[in-house]
Amino acid sequence: MRPFTYERAKDAQAAVKAAAETPNAKFLAGGTNLLDLMKLEIEHPAHLIDVGRLPMAAIEDTSDGGLRIGAMATNSHLAADARVRARYPVLTQAIVAGGSGQLRNKATTGGNLLQRTRCAYFYDTTKPCNKRAPGSGCGALEGLNRNSAIFGASHACIATHPSDMAVAMAALDATVETLSPSGAARSFPVIELHRLPGETPEVETHLVPGELITAVVLPPAPQDSRGGSGQVYRKVRDRASYAAGLAAVAVAGGKIALGAVAHKPWRAAEAEAALAAGASPQEAIGRELDQAADNGRNAFKINLVRRLVPAALADAGEQGRGA
Partner 1 sequence: MKTTITVNGEARALDLDPRTTLLDALREHLRLTGSKKGCDHGQCGACTVLVNGVRINSCLSLAVMHDGDQVTTIEGIGTPDRLHPMQVAFLTEDAFQCGYCTPGQICSAIGMLGEVAQNWPSQETAELTGKITLTDDELRERMSGNICRCSAYPQIVAAIKSAAGELA
Minimum distance from residue 157 beta carbon to partner 1 (Å): 23
Coil, strand, or helix at residue 132? coil
Pick the binder of partner 1 from 93, 108, 148, 163 (CB under 8 A): 93
Q: Does 241 bind partner 1 (CB under 8 A)?
A: yes
Q: Does 101 bind partner 1 (CB under 8 A)?
A: yes
**Nearer to partner 1 among residue 149 and residue 171 (C-beta):** 171
Contacts 24+ apart (CB under 8 A), 225-231: 225/322, 225/323, 226/317, 228/317, 229/87, 229/88, 229/89, 229/90, 229/316, 230/254, 230/316, 230/317, 230/318, 231/88, 231/89, 231/90, 231/93, 231/171, 231/316
CA distances to 59, 77, 149, 255, 281 from 84, in Å = 10, 10, 30, 18, 27
Angle (nearest 5°) at CA 259 between 310 and 175: 105
C-alpha span between 249 and 164 (Å, rounded): 9
Per CB under 8 A, the segment of 76-84, 254-262, 267-275, 296-304 that binds partner 1 is 76-84
Name 133's Cβ contacts closer than 8 Å, sequence gap at least 6: none
Q: Does 230 bind partner 1 (CB under 8 A)?
A: no
Pick the binder of partner 1 from 100, 182, 225, 291 (CB under 8 A): 100
**Nearer to partner 1 among residue 28 and residue 261 (C-beta):** 28
Contact, 171 vs 256, CB < 8 A?
yes
Q: Does 39 bind partner 1 (CB under 8 A)?
A: yes
**Nearer to partner 1 among residue 63 and residue 240 (C-beta):** 240
C-alpha span between 286 and 309 (Å, rounded): 10
Helix (H), strand (E), coil (C) string for 221-266: CCCCCCCCCCEEEEEECCCCCCCCCCEEEEEECCEEEEECCCCCCE
- Kindly determine how many residues on this chain lie close enough to bind partner 1 according to the rule CB under 8 A: 36
Q: Does 58 bind partner 1 (CB under 8 A)?
A: no
Q: Does 152 bind partner 1 (CB under 8 A)?
A: no
Per CB under 8 A, the segment of 93-101, 175-183, 197-205, 315-323 that binds partner 1 is 93-101
Footprint on residues 247-266 left by partner 1 (CB under 8 A): none
Q: What strands lie across the sheet with 247-252, from one edge to the other?
A: 231-236, 247-252, 255-259, 266-267
**Nearer to partner 1 among residue 14 and residue 35 (C-beta):** 35
Pick the binder of partner 1 from 5, 62, 187, 303 (CB under 8 A): 5
Minimum distance from residue 11 beta carbon to partner 1 (Å): 17
Q: Does 126 bind partner 1 (CB under 8 A)?
A: no
Angle (nearest 5°) at CA 157 between 152 and 160: 65
Binding mask 167-186 for partner 1 (x = CB under 8 A): --------------------
Per CB under 8 A, the segment of 26-34, 55-63, 64-72, 249-257 that binds partner 1 is 26-34
Q: Does 236 bind partner 1 (CB under 8 A)?
A: no
Per CB under 8 A, the segment of 33-41, 184-192, 270-278, 286-294 that binds partner 1 is 33-41
Contact, 67 vs 88, CB < 8 A?
yes
Q: Does 92 bind partner 1 (CB under 8 A)?
A: yes
C-alpha span between 125 and 157 (Å, rounded): 16
Residues that bind partner 1 in the complex, under the rule CB under 8 A: 1, 3-6, 8, 28, 31-32, 35-36, 39, 48, 50, 52, 76, 79-80, 82, 85-86, 89, 92-93, 96-97, 99-103, 105-106, 240-242
